[in-house]
Each structure stands twice: as structure tokens, then as C-alpha cells.
Structure 1
Amino acid sequence: MNILRNARFRRLLIGETVSSFGDSAMFLSLAIWAKDLTGSNASAGLVFLFITVPGLFSPLFGYAVDKVNRKPLLMWMYGAMAVLVLSLLFVDSPDQLWIIYAVAFCHGVFFSTPARSALLKDLLPSADALQARSLLIATREGVRIVSPAAGAAIYVAWGGSFLALLDAATFLFAMALLAGIKLTESQPEAPTGEPFRSQVTAGFRHVRGMPLLLRLIGAMVGFMLIAGLLESAAFAAIEHGLGKSAAFFGVASSVQGAGSVLGGVVAGALVKRLGECRASGVGYALMATGMLLCISGEVGLFLAGVVLNGMGMPLLGVAVGTATQLYTPSRLQGRVHAVVGMTSGGVQSLSIAAGAALIGIIDYRVMYGLIVVAGFASAVSVLTRRPPTPEIVASLADEPQDTRPPARDTKEPVPEGA
């Protein structure tokens, strides 16, 4: 990939990959640790609650990201997380369970703060946005295949303290690589006297005023509102549909991860050729088809469906992420990325909760069927009467010729009568 010739991006990619490995390895192990200390499944489940709750405050985090220089902020965050995870060294009884929850919450804040996504606007020329997003997602999904199992194995073999030291080291490594990246950042906006609430919600107004982003995010929210049912339905499909034990879920997760890596690798080329709307439509269609195959009751078809589901999601992420990076001013990047994360993640959480409550009442095949309908409906929503592609908002890293609208196939046709 041409993007790998960019030394600054290589540093960022390596740092993100190492840090992501440490974090993904830690998440599952924190829940196991809480279970070991208390013997309670509820205590283990609360770890994931503390990780996800900070996402509700994403607009505030996005506002903060847009008001400061992103590189120093990100370095401070890496350093703070390295120190915070070391507090796990003091956990040796149920009385210190609160430390595990505090670390989980801080991890959630770290991942809900869109500093890294916002930094890409100033770091990369607009022409490299697609390749960068595609490679970042493919690498992240690849790490997620092995890191949870690796983290659990490390925890069992050497304990949580060793895992805490490893996670801290990954944060420090990422911070060191980021420190070596030289870039010119866009300057934070001077105070305007605009009410605080209005400044925080500026990302929502930007999305509402840009039909392409509104269509992409709206379709994703609609799909995620139903797709969370899969978290509960998948276990029922494995047990009742395939006649397998719950341990088969680990096999399915690895297969889905492999599909996600493949999807991430090809996403950039597809978005470049088809445009953001049509590429995301392909993603929804892949996931809907995959869910349909999972109802078959055949192991081979089930795994094929899992692969298609894994391939589809990166197409959505690359399409929405690239559109946000290209068509949003630098000093709105944090708030717009926060809109994407909070809206899609929020409705998915509601859907997961609904699935957990309904799985004992509704047949899992009905849940899969609802996801199929939602997937195809979202595909139709982005493929019909596609909005025009906006003008690219220039990056500080652009050469003069990069600021012109791209002469590529992502140019969506203006609908008749628009």
C-alpha cells in the first residue's frame, strides 16, 4: 500500500496496533479477574458496563478534542493510562474490586475520546484517507482475533499483575512512537462566545446539514438498533441450531475476525471504486446475507455466514470514517466522530439489552430474520436517491492539487430534481 510509505502514518499504525493488542488482551481478563475475586458473574459483567458507559459522554470528549492540540492530548492520555493500569498491581482481594472497575471505566473514556481519529485529518493528505482507514481497521480486527485469548492465557499463566505491566508497556510504546511524529496541527478556534451547549452539539448540526453523512450515519444507526440482538441469538443458534456447545462461539468469533480482516483490506478499494454510499450498501447486503445463512442449521453455511458478516462491518466503518475525515473541518472532527460513535454504539447497547431480555421468549431464528430485514433495509436506504458527494475540506497535509474534488469513482451522481 502506498500509505505505508508515509513514515508518520507507519509510526501511528505501529503504535496503535501494539496499544490495541494490550487493551484487547486486558478487557476479557479484567472480567475473569473480577469473577475469580468474587465468584460472581454479575461482578464480571459489570466490567463491560464500566467500559461502555463512557461512550454516552462522547460529545463532551469530542468537544475537548476539538479545543486542544490533539497530539499532546493523546500523549497525555497514553501516559495516564500507563499509570492507571499499574494500579492493578495492588489488587489481591475483593476489597480492591473497585480498582478493576476504575481501570475499566478509564479504558472506556480512552476509547470514547476521538483524539486519534481527529488527528488523522491534520496528519494525512486527503488522498490517503481511504487507504489509512482501511489499513487501520484491518489491523485492528486482526489484533482482536488473537489478543483476547492471548490475554486470558497470560492471566492464567502469570496473573493479572503481569498483564497490567504488559498493558502499561504498550501504552508507553505507543506514546514514544507518537512523540517522534512531526506534524503541523490546525489551530484550535478562538473563543466565540457561543453557548457551551451549542458548541458541544455542533457535530450533530454538521451531520444534519450534510446529506451524505446524515444518510450514512442514519443507515448505520437503523441497522445497529436491531443488530445487537445477535449477541444473544448467536448462542442459541449454536446450541439449538447447530447442536454445538457454547465453546463453539470462540471458533465462530475467530472466523468472523478473519472475515473482518479481509473486509478491512478490500474496503478502501471498494469505497474508492463505488463511493461511500454504494460501498456501505454492499456491506449491509453482505451482513444480511450472512445472517440468512446462519439460520440454515448447517455448520458450513453458518461459518460462511459468519465470514460474510465479518466482511461487511469494515465497509461501513471505512465509508463513514472516510466521509467524516474528508468532508468535515479539522476542528469539528472530534465532535463529528463522537456523533458516529455515540449514536451507533448507543442504539447497539439498547439492542443487546433487548436481545438478552427476549431470547427466552422469541425464537433465535426470528431475531436473525429481523437482522436480515434491517440489513437489506439499510442497504436500500443508502443505494436509493444517493446524495451528492460534498467538496473535500482540505487537510493541512494536502498539496494544493489535493484540495480539489477527487476525480474518482466515489463521486456520487446528483439525484434528479436535487
Structure 2
Amino acid sequence: MSRILAERRLCLLLFGQLLSTFAGNALWLAVGISVKSLTGNVSAVGTVLLAYLLGALCAPLAAPLVDRFPRTAVVVVTNLLTAGVVSLLAPVHTLHDVWLVHPVMAGFGLAKGIVESAQTALVQTVAPAELFGAAGSASAVIQQGVKLLAPLLGVGLLTTAGLGAVVAVTVAAFLAESVLICALRINESAAPRDARGLFAGAGAGLRHVLHIPVLRRAAFSAALAMAAFGFSQTIMFAVAARTIDRPDSFVGVLVSGQGVGAVAAGLLAPKVMKAAGAQRLAALGMAAAALGYTLELPPATASVLMGVALLGAGSSWLGIGVITLVLHLTPSEVIGRTEAAVGLMLSATQALAVATAAGAIDTVDHRILILLCVGLLGLAAARLRAPAVPALALHTERARRKGPCPDEHRTRRRHGRVHEFADLLHTGRLGRRHRNLHQQAVAARTEGLHPAAIHRAPRPGRT
């Protein structure tokens, strides 16, 4: 934490993220309560959430903007546009005004996805490679801590001053973040214009994930785990009502317990990552979540509280581990699209799980759903726990001592994409795109990844 505080620009970036995250959480809850009070219908709140999710799922389509234009400009312009759109919610006072909420929340979800991708790219710019993991941990602590405080403050402000006051605070937070981003003073230049058009390379992020074995393994394992996390909110209501015989209001206590677990795990993440690496941190998060689900089976309040805390800790470690791998193994020119592609994979599986849980919770015993989640998390953890490029690591170590490995050609065929990518890195033919190669290699060592995943291995006959 002391090293993060020593990085002025990183602190400004994280504080700006704190403001925007607080504003987003406070606004969402206030809008949901206002829609419920105006319509008298709980399902209307669900339509607001659906509009927000649809906007967020469209964010990867705009991700090329993050890699094409300076990231600071993308954040500032998006925040200014978001402030203008959100201000349209101020006059929503009657049932006839509710229709305005849905397009505004869809635009808010789209803007949030764009800003998150740009913030991730800025972390790669302002922080040294060895602080990527600590920056991810700090970001997770901010997000989870805000989730504990923002709902209380948002509801209090809504009750005392109305929705207009919440909208005003939200607009002020976005404007303040824009000022902080301008204070970063980063010398950025726009990327070269693609003759095929601005959105021609929209799939570059997904292709990068699929071509790097470490990222591919992490992304698919995390998507499988997020399907299990998608059941958690619905299962939480069933556990409160059926397992420990508590009223629905007790779910608020369970959500707070989950947030406390996430914050504590975020504070511990840098030390665990230093000892185990980013991949194993994500795998440990999945294992902790599986144990948390198991503890929700006994009809004991203490066991359930411990279980939801472990669920929060697991989700925090999973997110930190995955974003750290993305930062370390992605060149700056595609970081925005890569983060958006990974985010889409996780959000899509989570949304599908939420819809499945909502339809199945009344017909299927919630304990069966819990066991299903435990199985999904165990499978994802086992897949991620395996080393990504063991043959390359073995070959490199042998080459140093005895010369080429007998099965080197088979190894190179198996990891041909990695070697093709690495050959371009080694010869410098990718130019500016990989100017941070040395930092990525050093970071790979610190994160438990063998440098063979980035550097090319010696060719046959060379030592």
C-alpha cells in the first residue's frame, strides 16, 4: 500500500474511480427505489436493471474507442456525456416520466463499460508492472467498500432530498473524476488510423485472449466461475427464508457480510499474489467460493454468514487475479478491447446464470443449485490451477543446462501461436506495439508465470 501511495498518478486514478463507483452505486439504488414507489410494481425495477445490463453488454462494441484515442480524453468525454444524460433523471417525479429511466440507464451502463476499459488501460500506463497486482487489489477494495457505504448514503439522500439531489451528487462526482483524470498529465497520442475503419478491429481483444494460452485459460475458467456467482443473489434469498428461517430483510445482512469478506480479501490479495502468483490467486478465489457455498447448506446462521463472507472473498480474488493477468500479458494497443472482451465473457455468463436462477429457484431445491455451483467452481479452479505452459518451462530449463530438449519440435507445434507471437516480440517487428516487453517479462516472473510464455524459446541446436 505504501508503494501505491508513492505513485501520485496512480492515486489520482484510483480516487477518481472511487468517486465514479460511489456515484454509480448510489444512483442505481435511488433510481430503483423511485421506480418502485412510482409504479408500485417490483418487476418495473427488474426492467430498469435489464436496461442497464443491455447497455453494459454493448460496451465492448465501443472498446475500439479506448485503443484508438487517448485514454484520458475517452474518460473525460464519456464522463461529461454521462453527466449530461444522467441529469435527465432529475425531473422524473410522476408515473408518466418513468419511461425516461430506461434509455438513461442503458446509456449509463454503456458509459460505465467504456470508462472501466479506459481506467484499466490507464493503470497500465501510470503504474509500474510490479504494481499491477496491488493496483488491482486497491481497485477491488474500492469497489467492494463503496458497495457497503453507497447504498446507505444514497437511500438517506433520496429520503431527505429526493431523486434530484442524488442526480446532482452523481453529476458532481463524474465532473470531479474528469478533473482528476486531467491532472494525470499523461502524454498520449492517438493510435494510427486504420484504413478499414474505426470499428474494424473490434474483435482484436478477443483474438488476443484466444491466442495467449495463459489468458485463454484464465478467461474461460473465470467465465465458468461467474456462472456460479450468478446464482448467489437468488440463492441468498432462498437460504435466508428456507435454510435459517429468517425474513427477507436479513438478506441485507448477508449482502453486507459478503462485502466485508470481499474487502478483507482485497487487502490480503497483494501478499497472497506475491507468494502464489495471479493464476493461483484466482484459483484460490474459486476454491474459497466453493467452500462458501458449502457452508450455506447447514441450517446455522453463523455458518451461512461465514459462507457469504467466503463468497465475497472468492469473487474479489478471482477478479484481481484475472485483471492482473490481463494487464501483464496484453500490449497497450489492445488493452481496452481485451479488457472489454474479458468483461463481456464474464458478464454474459453471469447474466445467463441470473436468468436461470430466477426461473429455477421456485421449482428446484436451492440446495441442488448450491451443489451445482460448487461443482462449477471446483471445475473452474482445477482447470486454472494447472500450469499454462509446463512444456515450455521444462524445455527452457533444460536448454540452459544440457541443450535442446528431445521433444522440442512437438512442444513448438503445441504452442505454435505462442512462439509465433514471441518471435515477433523478439525481433521487434511489432515496433511500438510491444515497447513494454521487458516490463511484461519481469512481471511474468513476479506473478508466477514462466517467461517462456512471453519470450521465444531457443531453437534446435542452440543453447
Q: Could you say which residue in structure 2 is the equivalent of 1:411?
A: 448
Aligned pair 1:231/2:229, yes or no? no
Change (3 A) 1:122 1:296: same
Correspondence 1:9-408 to 2 at 5 A: 9-113=10-114, 114-185=117-188, 187-193=190-196, 196-197=199-200, 199-387=201-389, 402=439, 404-406=441-443, 408=445
Structure-2 separation of matches of 1:194 and 1:370:
44
Q: Which runs of 5+ in 2 are unaligned?
A: 394-417, 458-463
Structure-1 separation of matches of 2:356 and 2:298:
24
Is residue 329–residue 440 contact of structure 2 (8 Å, CA) maintained in 1? Answer: no
Alpha-carbon deviation of 1:386?
Answer: 3.0
Change (3 A) 1:359 1:18: same
Alpha-carbon deviation of 1:125?
Answer: 1.9
Alpha-carbon deviation of 1:102?
Answer: 2.5
Q: Larger Rg: 1 or 2?
A: 2
Q: What secondary structure, in the 3-state scheme, does the structure 2 residue paired with 1:200 have? A: coil
User: Counterpart amino acid of 1:153?
Assistant: G
Change (3 A) 1:191 1:409: closer
Alpha-carbon deviation of 1:95?
Answer: 1.5
Change (3 A) 1:375 1:95: same
Structure-2 separation of matches of 1:100 and 1:249:
26
Is residue 26–residue 150 contact of structure 2 (8 Å, CA) maintained in 1? Answer: yes
Alpha-carbon deviation of 1:103?
Answer: 2.3
User: Counterpart amino acid of 1:157?
Assistant: T
Q: What secondary structure, in the 3-state scheme, does the structure 2 residue paired with 1:21 have? A: helix
Structure-2 separation of matches of 1:280 and 1:238:
28
User: Counterpart amino acid of 2:319?
Assistant: G
Is residue 51–residue 106 contact of structure 2 (8 Å, CA) maintained in 1? Answer: yes
Is residue 65–residue 74 contact of structure 2 (8 Å, CA) maintained in 1? Answer: no
Is residue 266–residue 313 contact of structure 2 (8 Å, CA) maintained in 1? Answer: yes
Alpha-carbon deviation of 1:84?
Answer: 1.9
Q: What secondary structure, in the 3-state scheme, does the structure 2 residue paired with 1:360 have? A: coil
Same amino acid, percent of matched pairs: 27
Structure-2 separation of matches of 1:294 and 1:186:
51
Alpha-carbon deviation of 1:306?
Answer: 0.8
Number of residue-to-residue matches in the alignment = 415
Structure-1 separation of matches of 2:56 and 2:293:
27
Q: What secondary structure, in the 3-state scheme, does the structure 2 residue paired with 1:362 have? A: coil
Cα deviation, 1:237-257, whole Å, max 9, x if unaligned, reads 110100100101100111110
Q: Could you say which residue in structure 1 is the equivalent of 2:398?
A: none
Change (3 A) 1:123 1:192: farther
Q: Could you say which residue in structure 1 is the equivalent of 2:9?
A: 8
Q: Structure 2 length normalisation: TM-score? A: 0.84
Out of 266-275 and 165-174, give the one that drifted further.
Answer: 266-275
Is residue 125–residue 395 contact of structure 1 (8 Å, CA) maintained in 2? Answer: no
Structure-1 separation of matches of 2:133 and 2:432:
14
Q: What secondary structure, in the 3-state scheme, does the structure 2 residue paired with 1:405 have? A: helix
Structure-1 separation of matches of 2:237 and 2:431:
46
Q: Structure 1 length normalisation: TM-score? A: 0.93
Is residue 75–residue 118 contact of structure 2 (8 Å, CA) maintained in 1? Answer: yes
Q: Which runs of 5+ in 1 are unaligned?
A: none
Change (3 A) 1:179 1:72: same
Structure-1 separation of matches of 2:12 and 2:75:
14
Alpha-carbon deviation of 1:196?
Answer: 4.8
Q: Which has the higher contact order (CA 8 A, sep 6+)?
A: 1
Structure-2 separation of matches of 1:172 and 1:312:
33
Cα deviation, 1:384-414, whole Å, max 9, x if unaligned, reads 2433698899999x99974642484523357
Change (3 A) 1:73 1:245: same
